[in-house]
Structure 1
Amino acid sequence: MTEQHRLVILGSMDEFVELVEQARERGIYTIVCDGYEDGPAKPAADKAYLVDIRDTDAVARICHEEEADGIIASFSDLLAECMIDIADAAGLPAYLKPQQERYLREKTLMKQMFAELDIATPRSREVSLDRLEEGLSGLQFPCVVKPVNGYGSHGVFVARSAEEVRERFAEAASQSSFDTLIAEEYFEGPEFNIMTWVVDGTAHVLSVADRQKAPFEEGEVPQVVRIVYPSAYTTLVADEAADIATKIAQYVGLENGPLCVQAFYDGEGGLSVCEAAGRIFGYEHELLALTSDLTVEELLLDCVYDSEAAKAKVEGHSCRLSGCAAGLYFHGRDGQVADTEALDALAIQPGVVEYLPYYRVGDTISHKKGAKPYAARFYVQGKSREEVDTASKAIFDGASLRDPAGNELLYTVDADEL
């Protein structure tokens, strides 16, 4: 009789429920760990711990005490980084070691890597507060200014002058362990999320998706409001994307596992890469399942327990996906929610396959650190891009959340401008 596998999963929010359920269907004993007491994946697991995943030693002890033989995390830089550190401390296998993963987390090292590999990337500088003007010399404004190793979009802003960078320098740097920032020239061309999986050192493109953004407030980075699978540019950029991701994988020593890239396309010049990450994009991997026979959860589990199965799935997959799907991400202003009726009604619109409201009546939308990432999220599906665009427009046009005074809490999105 085969001994039961025991798997530690870092993360318990909604996107982890399917991973836990698939692991249990395989007969794997699941142990979910994170700092969310009411994470929806915890009731689905065999065992759950309330623990700060940044406490490497504490989670490593749990791994030893539970006699875990595997560990998984994905969907965010923080989770992936913690997983790699914990695996190293606990003696568990992982697709990267901490020293390798640094090139996919610290933007100064990442830019150095891109330069050495001759990968096009938006022009940037590492800048310090005491020599700010000197550091910014040669860059054209507007610039995106970001922490060196921050998470998500915390501390990221658009600056149109050196003075704006100076005014917000301390706030942005507080989101990082570095006292410097990265200033990067702003690129306005088509933008993509490119999901790849590395097999034996070679990256295979799982998907190329259009990453569509909208500006909400002056000086803030435009926020992602829609991700569309597949991209209209897939055929044009897929081969170049695979070559770029393979170069990155081989540079950092990633032999088998996830590698995702954010890039721009400028037509004649091809792809310009802004970031690479050793994880799968969060809140959109579900779109791959809606447009293909491949699921990220299966790949993550196979990466730990059945590498040959992962290899077969990846090599048999085409990034020229069937059908079309999109994720719509709604952002809200701070305030108390009093009326969700209009937003809730959109859940039965044609094409909607999932609706996830993050706030209900009486809840307060907040942008404090650790707050929920969106006000609401929709997934829509159709046989064509035209069907998905039509469904998306109906949702964007009809979406509304009101506070007790009747004021609109959602930032509006003009679907015609996407």
Structure 2
Amino acid sequence: MKKVLILGGAGVHCKLVEAAHEMNLCVIVADYLKKDDSPAKQIADKNYEVDINDIDGIIQICIEESVDAVLTTHLDPCQKPYQKICEKLGFPCMGTEEQFEYLTNKRKFKMLCQESGVDIIPGYTVADVYDDRVNYPVFIKPVDSRGSRGQKKCENRRQALEAIESAQKESSDGDCIIEKYLGDEEEIQITYFFENGNAHLIRTADSYRGEGKLRNIVTHSVSPSKYTTEFRNTTNEKIIKMLKKIGIKNGPVMMQGFYDNGVFRFFDPGLRFPGVEYERIYKKMYNIDFLKLIIEYSLTGSMPQIDIDESSVYLEGKRAEIVFPLISEGIIAKIEGLDKIEQNEKVISVLHRHREKDTISWSYDINQRLCEIDMLFDKNEKLNERERILSELKVYNNKGKNMLLFYR
């Protein structure tokens, strides 16, 4: 039996473990988490508690276990270690060191976009802030951190100087990005799947965020985006040309951006899928399992040819909704309704992020999400059907008070 090692044991990788098991593979999951805190480890055949950045340690595990492939598909911090491990072991990898650098480092991504005629968000330098040459508000963030950490909207120079220090601490290279604030504009997310050099646009989504201090957190997304046709007509080919220019041939690429008065401006890329369960929705619609394709490529170095209708991004007129209910600080004493929600025929997946007895603090990032609920609706179903399904959910703290905040 062949063995694969999956880097990263978060819940979003459970579907990767499931796909490997369906292919009769032995699955090992490795990251720093204990098994009880790592959903993917709990369903794997074997697991190791090791930091994903311990490249030599993971390579030694692969040698001792006679691992045939290493892969990761959805987790941002796993991308660069994955590439380094594959390179040293001589395993097939979905990208080169240069490609991962372009698609994890936000500054290098901006430069690539500018060179390729893809619109970006206008920005400033740290020196501009110190010299007071900035039109506020601006948005300051780390170069390569994730999960909304170290990000802040700034209304003046004092706030900006504080945010620069915070963002630099979260960046692997001590740098930060300073951009014109576009948070009031509509946000769009796109995902491609490359197969032997052929680019397929498989998802567009309109993203909606929380309010106030929760503004950095996406709480809800809808696919396809209402701007899908406009994006395909104006920007899609530019991005595909840009990705082919750096040699992308196989695997997923995702990007987040804003729709700014008729202009698509992108700011956050990844040589991976977004950290959600959308691939389950796509599989249900079209019987294409992207995770099995990636596993096959990781084992053989050859990506199976696939027949994807370019109109599949429209989901045959259906509407996919992904909701992240947010919760306040406290100890979760009781969660009610999730079992009933999971049984609803419109619900494709429920991914648990927190459980009863978990202690929640005010982090104002993705740790405020209780779970992820993925739904698929027919063309003519009303929006209040989503509200009806989600109304079953109740979350109480150890004092019997409601912890559920809202979703949009």
How far has the Cα of 1:58 moved from its partner? 0.8
Instruction: Indicate if the aligned counterparts of 2:196 and 2:249 stay in contact, CA closer than 8 A.
Output: yes
How far has the Cα of 1:364 moved from its partner? 1.0
Instruction: Indicate if the aligned counterparts of 2:91 and 2:298 stay in contact, CA closer than 8 A.
Output: no
Matched, 1:114 2:128: no
TM (norm. structure 2) is 0.88
Instruction: Indicate if the aligned counterparts of 1:227 and 1:284 stay in contact, CA closer than 8 A.
Output: no
Counterpart for residue 104 of structure 2: 105
Distance 1:397 1:43 in 2: 30
- Write the deviation string for residues 138-172 of structure 1: whole angstroms up to 9, x where unpaired: 5x432221011212211111111221111233222
Change beyond 3 A, Cα 1:291–1:161: farther
* Pairing of 1:57-136 with structure 2 (within 5 A): 57-127=56-126, 132-134=129-131
How far has the Cα of 1:343 moved from its partner? 6.1
Point out the more displaced range, 377-386 or 104-113.
377-386
Distance 1:361 1:76 in 2: 24
Distance 1:77 1:89 in 2: 20
Q: Secondary structure at the match of 2:67?
A: coil
Out of 282, 286, 292, the residue aligned to residue 292 of structure 1 is: 286
Counterpart for residue 39 of structure 2: 40
Instruction: Indicate if the aligned counterparts of 1:108 and 1:126 stay in contact, CA closer than 8 A.
Output: no
Alignment coverage as a number of residue pairs: 403
Q: Secondary structure at the match of 1:319?
A: helix
- Write the deviation string for residues 61-94 of structure 1: whole angstroms up to 9, x where unpaired: 2222223232110212112222112112222221
- Write the deviation string for residues 307-353 of structure 1: whole angstroms up to 9, x where unpaired: 76543244677322132221110222221123323666655667334
Distance 1:160 1:263 in 2: 21
Q: Secondary structure at the match of 1:321?
A: helix
How far has the Cα of 1:175 moved from its partner? 0.9
How far has the Cα of 1:356 moved from its partner? 4.0
Counterpart for residue 184 of structure 1: 179
1:238 alignment partner AA: R
C-alpha RMSD of the superposition: 2.9
Distance 2:334 2:26 in 1: 41
1:17 alignment partner AA: C
Out of 264, 273, 283, the residue aligned to residue 280 of structure 1 is: 273
* Pairing of 1:396-411 with structure 2 (within 5 A): 399-411=393-405
Instruction: Indicate if the aligned counterparts of 1:216 and 1:223 stay in contact, CA closer than 8 A.
Output: no
Distance 2:95 2:379 in 1: 38
- Write the deviation string for residues 239-296 of structure 1: whole angstroms up to 9, x where unpaired: 5453233233233322222111112223533x22122211111123333334433233
Counterpart for residue 320 of structure 1: 314
Distance 1:350 1:256 in 2: 33
How far has the Cα of 1:225 moved from its partner? 0.9
* Pairing of 1:134-149 with structure 2 (within 5 A): 134=131, 137-138=133-134, 140-149=135-144
Counterpart for residue 24 of structure 1: 21
2:158 alignment partner AA: E
Out of 257, 266, 276, the residue aligned to residue 251 of structure 2 is: 257
Q: Secondary structure at the match of 2:190?
A: strand
How far has the Cα of 1:376 moved from its partner? 2.3
Matched, 1:194 2:190: yes
How far has the Cα of 1:393 moved from its partner? 2.4
Change beyond 3 A, Cα 1:259–1:321: same
Counterpart for residue 412 of structure 1: 406
Instruction: Indicate if the aligned counterparts of 1:203 and 1:249 stay in contact, CA closer than 8 A.
Output: no
Matched, 1:227 2:226: no
Distance 1:409 1:356 in 2: 18
Instruction: Indicate if the aligned counterparts of 1:209 and 1:229 stay in contact, CA closer than 8 A.
Output: yes
Distance 1:76 1:198 in 2: 18
Counterpart for residue 302 of structure 1: 296
1:255 alignment partner AA: K
Point out the more displaced range, 307-316 or 4-13.
307-316
Quote the sequence identity (%).
25
Matched, 1:329 2:328: no
How far has the Cα of 1:407 moved from its partner? 3.8
Counterpart for residue 163 of structure 1: 158
Q: Secondary structure at the match of 1:254?
A: coil
